[in-house]
Structure 1
Amino acid sequence: MNLNLRHAVISNVSGNTQDQLQDTIVDAIQSGEEKMLPGLGVLFEVIWQNANNEDKKEMLTMLEQGLNKNVQ
């Protein structure tokens, strides 16, 4: 993923409300289109970079549980 994609995704959603951001995320997930994955990755990168250590640990716990749930 290059810097231009990051910039494009961030520019596209900058200034959006929480409801608009949620709609963007839900639509990307529900569409199931592979082309949406890089954009979701950029959004996760923003979340990760702005999270404190406790939030990161909670995200990792949820990720681990979700992945284990899907494997079983």
Structure 2
Amino acid sequence: MNLNLRHAVKHNVSGNSQAELEDTIVDAIQSGEEKMLPGLGVLFEVIWENASQEEKQEMLSTLEQGLKQ
């Protein structure tokens, strides 16, 4: 099966409001289902690709601190 996961995830949330995007992210995290991880990865990829160098550095610092807990 040739499924373009990136395209499917982007298509499913394209046009969503910020509130809807937040609900999608929160629901995926709170569900704890492994099958949601690829979708979150695609959303993170979109964030990363559209972030400035300063925003990327902030995300990396946040990630580093979160992994130390």
Q: TM-score, normalised by structure 1?
A: 0.92
Shift of 1:3: 6.9
Give the 4+ runs in structure 1 shifted more than 2 A: none
Quote the Cα distance in structure 1 between the aligned partners of 2:67 and 2:3: 28
Q: 1:3 to 1:39 in 2, by over 3 A?
A: same
Quote the Cα distance in structure 1 between the aligned partners of 2:9 and 2:3: 10
Q: TM-score, normalised by structure 2?
A: 0.95
RMSD between aligned alpha carbons? Answer: 1.2
Q: How many equivalent residue pairs?
A: 68
Q: Which runs of 5+ in 1 are unaligned?
A: none
Match of residue 38 from structure 2: 38
Q: Does 1:66 align with 2:45?
A: no
Q: Which runs of 5+ in 2 are unaligned?
A: none
Match of residue 28 from structure 1: 28
